[in-house]
Structure 1
Amino acid sequence: MTARRLIVEADGGSRGNPGPAGYGAVVRDGDTGRIIAEAAEYLGRATNNVAEYRGLIAGLRAAHAIDPAAGVEVRMDSKLVVEQMSGRWKIKHPDMQPLAAEARTVFPPGQVGYSWIPRERNKDADRLANEAMDAGQAGRPWQPRGEPSAHPVASAAAVDEPAPALVLQAPAPQAGWAAAGDQVVATTLVLLRHGETALTPQKRFSGSTGSDPQLSEKGRWQAERAAEALAARGTVEAVVSSPMLRTRQTAEAAAVRLGLPVRIEEGLRELDFGAWEGLTFAEVQERHPEDLDAWLASTRARPTGSSESFAALSQRVGAARDRILARYAGQTVLVVSHVSPIKTLARLALGAPPDAVYRMELSAASLCAVQYYSDGNASLRLFNDTGHLR
């Protein structure tokens, strides 16, 4: 059988270079040219090149979510990214190296090709990047305008079918959180950490630029137990997942039980651990002691060779949270993610200081829950629940 052909068009921009930045990406059917997925995100302060690489990664992940066996042609108007990813130019800048490495992990070698196109032929991706920057600078989440994807696993920007009626209305907030008579809408995010991988029991760093391991046998068992518990509660109306393989496998186990599709949200991916990927804490302490000390002392410090600090992760995860809340207002949503994003969501809900993430324990396949109210308040309802695994 001939592999499906997909076309990814990606772009990124920065207003100031560095300055307020964002990316846009579309995935087209290779035969018809029809856009079947879109992705866009405001990145905060970044350079043009970082934004372009982030757009490439988002486009590749959206294509992978549609068909991981597809042949992919990437079209970009960035000569730099095309030549570097094609292997003809060396990648010398330290900010670009981990991003290029991350892009290469999405599909197996030989499955992706790169072509340069003039800017006027990259208008859709450019439009999305500018929409994301406009939205971010206005303090609101980017909202898609495209047609829905026909595939059950869509990119962060694909448009949903109309949601089913609310099965169980979330309880109202405590008295005093809104003025008398106000109509307050509650949206619940049930946060599920993925099941174990081979790296989990060894406590090795496993972020967004490493080997992207799959669930182990125990991890698959954990995912099934979590799925059973969620199905028994009967309140989940949508499933959203990080693009990493381990989270998608965990989300799919629940989605099958719940009879729901899985939506991919790029902003839920794990932190980029750079050169620490695959290492234990002791190994990092031995090889990169000064970087590790700095990282533990400040959420603005980055792991060795990483493109991202906890402060940057917080901005990314907060934007992803806002997109989910805007799309699923008043509903209960299963969000499958990783240690760092889930800890960050819990910290933000509590209004705790940034370094609180260093003082939280989160087990594999554990459940947390945060309820968000339309008056701007949030309530952490559950944290690190593993009762379903006993």
Structure 2
Amino acid sequence: MPEPSTILNGQPRRETAPELPSVLIATRHGQSTANVEFQLAEANGALTVPISCRDADIPLSMHGQAQAQAFGRWWAELPTGDRPRSLWCSPYVRAAETARIALAQAAGLGSVPVGLPVRYDERLRDRELGVLEMLTAAAIEKHHPEEAARRRRMGELYYRPPGGESWADVALRVRDCLRDLCAEEAGHPVLLVAHDNVLLMLRYVLDRLSEAELLELDVVANCSASIWRSVDGRLCAEQWNGTGHLPATN
């Protein structure tokens, strides 16, 4: 006799394939004004950056806007069946601007519907750094040496700054967001616009990376293209951090 756990209403239990989007494309927002300021500060060993707004309100730089346009052109040139007509986005300004510009570019080329709705989801926001927010590496070493030491000891995946999140914390909300995204976008191509750490955690979750494999990944480039395709009940990586569609840095 079959075990009770193997029958359902008198019939053998049938395993069903998980609901997945046909294609998941993810990109980091375009270069932001903060990206520029932090690059300059790190190069000069500066302790401060001239940013007075909150992290959520940081906009794109001019180059970041050009990157978003280039991403929109790339989107428009995708095969019809792979061309996203659903867009999930971080609510932070730099991500929202990237989504708006890319969508306008793709729609202007006639490849996606004009006025395609954007779903803003706070689970896709950037990692929160708590007391370390807006501090350069030099400033952290100077003003929070105990935190700098604890970070080195614990490693990037598990270190949580006071009032902030670890990478693992971000992975938890990425997993939760993926459950909703997969259920709502089953069978359809979808685009996700977020942040560098969110994309790292997306790859960590989908590709089932170890901590060592995660830490070997390169920095996620602004407006890069990463693609996962549904194959045998899993989203399988097809491209990671592609930048061939982007304009050269000025």
TM-score strictly above 0.5: yes
Q: 1:372 to 1:322 in 2, by over 3 A?
A: farther
Letter in 2 for 1:294: R
Q: 1:293 to 1:240 in 2, by over 3 A?
A: same
CA distance in 1, matches of 2:74, 2:120: 22
Q: 1:211 to 1:322 in 2, by over 3 A?
A: closer
Q: Which residue of 1 aligns with 2:170?
A: 313
Q: Which residue of 2 aligns with 1:371?
A: 229
Please tell me whether the aligned partners of residues 184 and 373 of structure 1 are also in contact (alpha carbons under 8 angstroms): no
CA distance in 2, matches of 1:331, 1:373: 13
1:382 and 2:239 are equivalent in the alignment: yes
CA distance in 1, matches of 2:224, 2:175: 21
Stretches of structure 2 that go unaligned for 5 or more consecutive residues are 1-15, 43-48, 107-111
Q: 1:249 to 1:380 in 2, by over 3 A?
A: same
Counterpart among 40, 48, 63 of residue 218 in structure 1: 63
Q: Which residue of 2 aligns with 1:350?
A: 207
Please tell me whether the aligned partners of residues 371 and 380 of structure 1 are also in contact (alpha carbons under 8 angstroms): yes
SS in 2 for 1:300: coil
Please tell me whether the aligned partners of residues 29 and 222 of structure 2 are also in contact (alpha carbons under 8 angstroms): yes
Please tell me whether the aligned partners of residues 244 and 269 of structure 1 are also in contact (alpha carbons under 8 angstroms): yes
Q: 1:253 to 1:212 in 2, by over 3 A?
A: same
SS in 2 for 1:278: coil
1:115-151 superposed Cα distances (whole Å, 9 cap, x missing partner): xxxxxxxxxxxxxxxxxxxxxxxxxxxxxxxxxxxxx
Counterpart among 128, 132, 136 of residue 280 in structure 1: 136
Q: Which residue of 2 aligns with 1:332?
A: 189
CA distance in 2, matches of 1:357, 1:270: 18
Please tell me whether the aligned partners of residues 20 and 182 of structure 2 are also in contact (alpha carbons under 8 angstroms): no
TM-score when normalising by structure 1: 0.49
Q: Which residue of 1 aligns with 2:31?
A: 196
Letter in 1 for 2:136: T
Please tell me whether the aligned partners of residues 191 and 335 of structure 1 are also in contact (alpha carbons under 8 angstroms): yes
Aligned-residue identity in percent: 26
Q: Which residue of 2 aligns with 1:227?
A: 72
Letter in 1 for 2:145: P
CA distance in 2, matches of 1:339, 1:248: 15
CA distance in 2, matches of 1:300, 1:380: 25
Q: Whose strand fraction is larger, Structure 1's or Structure 2's?
A: 1
SS in 2 for 1:195: coil
Counterpart among 302, 309, 315 of residue 160 in structure 2: 302
Q: 1:289 to 1:371 in 2, by over 3 A?
A: farther
How many residues were matched structurally? Answer: 207
Stretches of structure 1 that go unaligned for 5 or more consecutive residues are 1-181
Superposition map of 1:74-85 within 5 A? none
Q: Whose helix fraction is larger, Structure 1's or Structure 2's?
A: 2
1:265 and 2:121 are equivalent in the alignment: yes
Please tell me whether the aligned partners of residues 186 and 373 of structure 1 are also in contact (alpha carbons under 8 angstroms): no
Q: 1:355 to 1:283 in 2, by over 3 A?
A: farther
Q: 1:286 to 1:374 in 2, by over 3 A?
A: farther
Please tell me whether the aligned partners of residues 362 and 384 of structure 1 are also in contact (alpha carbons under 8 angstroms): yes
Q: Which has the higher contact order (CA 8 A, sep 6+)?
A: 2
CA distance in 2, matches of 1:183, 1:315: 23
CA distance in 2, matches of 1:282, 1:356: 27
CA distance in 2, matches of 1:359, 1:287: 28
TM-score when normalising by structure 2: 0.74
Counterpart among 101, 117, 133 of residue 253 in structure 1: 101
Q: Which residue of 1 aligns with 2:91?
A: 243
